[in-house]
Amino acid sequence: MHRAARLIVTVVLIGICLMGLTACGGSTPPLGLAPNKQLVQKAIALQINQAQQRLTQRLQSTPPNVEITQVKLKQLEPLFFDNLATFHILGTYRLKVKLPSQQFTQQQRPFDVYLQRQPEGKTWRLLVPEQLSNGSPVSWHTHLIR
Protein backbone atom coordinates (compact mmCIF):
# COMPACT_ATOMS: atom_id res chain seq x y z
CA MET A 1 0.00 0.00 0.00
CA HIS A 2 2.86 2.40 0.83
CA ARG A 3 4.35 1.84 -2.64
CA ALA A 4 0.99 2.56 -4.35
CA ALA A 5 0.59 5.85 -2.44
CA ARG A 6 4.11 6.96 -3.45
CA LEU A 7 3.33 6.16 -7.10
CA ILE A 8 0.09 8.18 -7.00
CA VAL A 9 1.86 11.20 -5.45
CA THR A 10 4.61 10.99 -8.08
CA VAL A 11 2.09 10.85 -10.94
CA VAL A 12 0.15 13.82 -9.51
CA LEU A 13 3.33 15.92 -9.12
CA ILE A 14 4.47 15.12 -12.67
CA GLY A 15 1.01 16.08 -13.96
CA ILE A 16 1.11 19.40 -12.12
CA CYS A 17 4.56 20.17 -13.55
CA LEU A 18 3.49 19.30 -17.08
CA MET A 19 0.30 21.38 -16.90
CA GLY A 20 1.85 24.52 -15.45
CA LEU A 21 5.59 24.57 -15.89
CA THR A 22 5.88 27.78 -13.89
CA ALA A 23 5.05 25.90 -10.71
CA CYS A 24 8.13 23.74 -11.23
CA GLY A 25 10.66 26.35 -12.28
CA GLY A 26 9.29 27.25 -15.72
CA SER A 27 11.63 28.56 -18.39
CA THR A 28 9.62 31.56 -19.59
CA PRO A 29 8.89 34.93 -18.00
CA PRO A 30 5.29 35.73 -17.06
CA LEU A 31 3.24 37.48 -19.73
CA GLY A 32 2.49 40.23 -17.20
CA LEU A 33 6.03 41.51 -17.82
CA ALA A 34 5.44 41.82 -21.58
CA PRO A 35 5.92 45.22 -23.22
CA ASN A 36 2.92 47.31 -24.26
CA LYS A 37 2.11 48.45 -27.82
CA GLN A 38 3.69 51.88 -27.29
CA LEU A 39 7.01 50.28 -26.40
CA VAL A 40 6.80 47.95 -29.42
CA GLN A 41 6.07 51.02 -31.59
CA LYS A 42 9.20 52.73 -30.20
CA ALA A 43 11.26 49.61 -30.96
CA ILE A 44 10.02 49.53 -34.56
CA ALA A 45 10.80 53.24 -34.92
CA LEU A 46 14.31 52.63 -33.55
CA GLN A 47 14.91 49.87 -36.11
CA ILE A 48 13.66 52.07 -38.96
CA ASN A 49 15.71 55.07 -37.80
CA GLN A 50 18.88 52.98 -37.67
CA ALA A 51 18.28 51.70 -41.20
CA GLN A 52 17.53 55.26 -42.37
CA GLN A 53 20.75 56.59 -40.86
CA ARG A 54 22.84 54.00 -42.68
CA LEU A 55 21.06 54.71 -45.96
CA THR A 56 21.15 58.51 -45.73
CA GLN A 57 24.86 58.40 -44.88
CA ARG A 58 25.55 56.39 -48.02
CA LEU A 59 23.33 58.58 -50.18
CA GLN A 60 24.34 61.78 -48.40
CA SER A 61 20.74 62.91 -48.21
CA THR A 62 18.26 64.16 -45.64
CA PRO A 63 16.32 61.43 -43.85
CA PRO A 64 12.56 61.39 -44.52
CA ASN A 65 9.97 61.98 -41.82
CA VAL A 66 8.54 58.58 -40.77
CA GLU A 67 5.38 57.88 -38.81
CA ILE A 68 4.45 54.46 -37.39
CA THR A 69 0.84 53.74 -36.44
CA GLN A 70 -1.64 50.87 -36.13
CA VAL A 71 0.74 48.45 -34.43
CA LYS A 72 -0.93 45.04 -34.17
CA LEU A 73 0.66 42.27 -32.13
CA LYS A 74 0.09 38.85 -33.66
CA GLN A 75 2.46 36.63 -31.68
CA LEU A 76 4.19 37.05 -28.33
CA GLU A 77 6.79 34.50 -27.28
CA PRO A 78 8.24 34.94 -23.76
CA LEU A 79 11.76 33.61 -23.16
CA PHE A 80 14.87 34.28 -21.13
CA PHE A 81 18.01 35.63 -22.80
CA ASP A 82 21.08 36.20 -20.61
CA ASN A 83 18.81 35.50 -17.62
CA LEU A 84 16.59 38.49 -18.43
CA ALA A 85 12.92 38.45 -19.44
CA THR A 86 12.82 38.76 -23.23
CA PHE A 87 9.87 38.80 -25.61
CA HIS A 88 9.94 37.82 -29.28
CA ILE A 89 7.08 39.77 -30.86
CA LEU A 90 5.62 39.46 -34.37
CA GLY A 91 2.96 41.65 -35.90
CA THR A 92 2.18 44.40 -38.39
CA TYR A 93 2.18 48.20 -38.49
CA ARG A 94 1.32 51.08 -40.80
CA LEU A 95 4.21 53.14 -42.17
CA LYS A 96 3.81 56.69 -43.45
CA VAL A 97 6.85 58.29 -45.09
CA LYS A 98 6.92 62.02 -45.85
CA LEU A 99 9.47 63.13 -48.43
CA PRO A 100 9.98 66.76 -49.52
CA SER A 101 8.02 66.26 -52.74
CA GLN A 102 5.71 63.36 -51.93
CA GLN A 103 4.25 61.10 -49.27
CA PHE A 104 3.40 57.41 -49.26
CA THR A 105 1.83 54.92 -46.89
CA GLN A 106 2.31 51.18 -46.55
CA GLN A 107 -0.31 49.14 -44.72
CA GLN A 108 0.35 46.02 -42.67
CA ARG A 109 4.14 45.98 -42.84
CA PRO A 110 5.40 42.98 -40.86
CA PHE A 111 7.74 43.35 -37.91
CA ASP A 112 9.77 40.88 -35.87
CA VAL A 113 11.40 42.28 -32.73
CA TYR A 114 13.06 41.00 -29.58
CA LEU A 115 12.55 43.23 -26.53
CA GLN A 116 14.40 42.63 -23.28
CA ARG A 117 13.37 44.00 -19.89
CA GLN A 118 16.37 45.23 -17.95
CA PRO A 119 17.08 44.00 -14.40
CA GLU A 120 15.66 47.05 -12.60
CA GLY A 121 12.44 46.75 -14.65
CA LYS A 122 12.42 50.43 -15.70
CA THR A 123 14.05 50.21 -19.14
CA TRP A 124 13.89 47.98 -22.19
CA ARG A 125 16.44 47.10 -24.86
CA LEU A 126 15.88 46.13 -28.48
CA LEU A 127 17.86 42.99 -29.32
CA VAL A 128 18.98 42.82 -32.93
CA PRO A 129 20.27 39.48 -34.25
CA GLU A 130 23.22 39.56 -36.61
CA GLN A 131 24.52 36.59 -38.55
CA LEU A 132 28.29 36.31 -38.33
CA SER A 133 30.20 36.44 -41.62
CA ASN A 134 31.49 32.88 -41.31
CA GLY A 135 27.95 31.50 -41.04
CA SER A 136 28.33 30.61 -37.36
CA PRO A 137 25.55 31.28 -34.86
CA VAL A 138 23.93 34.67 -34.51
CA SER A 139 25.43 37.42 -32.38
CA TRP A 140 23.23 40.05 -30.76
CA HIS A 141 23.42 43.83 -30.56
CA THR A 142 21.31 45.73 -28.06
CA HIS A 143 19.92 49.26 -28.19
CA LEU A 144 18.25 51.15 -25.37
CA ILE A 145 14.65 52.10 -26.17
CA ARG A 146 13.89 55.66 -25.05
Residue 109: predicted pLDDT: 96
Whether the per-residue pLDDT at 51 is higher than 90: the answer is no
Assign 54 a pLDDT band (cuts: 50, 70, 90). Answer: confident
Assign 118 a pLDDT band (cuts: 50, 70, 90). Answer: very high
**Where are the extended beta strands (E) located within the chain?**
65-81, 84-98, 103-117, 124-131, 138-145
Residue 25: predicted pLDDT: 45
Whether the per-residue pLDDT at 141 is higher than 60: the answer is yes
CA 56 from chain centre, in angstroms, equals 26
CA 123 from chain centre, in angstroms, equals 14
User: pLDDT tens across 78-104, in order?
Assistant: 999 999 999 999 999 999 998 888 999
The mean pLDDT value for 62-69 works out to 86
Q: What is the three-class DSSP state of 43?
A: helix
Whether the per-residue pLDDT at 43 is higher than 90: the answer is yes
φ, ψ dihedrals at 12, nearest 5°: -65, -45
- Predicted structure pTM score: 0.73
Spell out the domain ranges in the chain: 1-32, 34-145
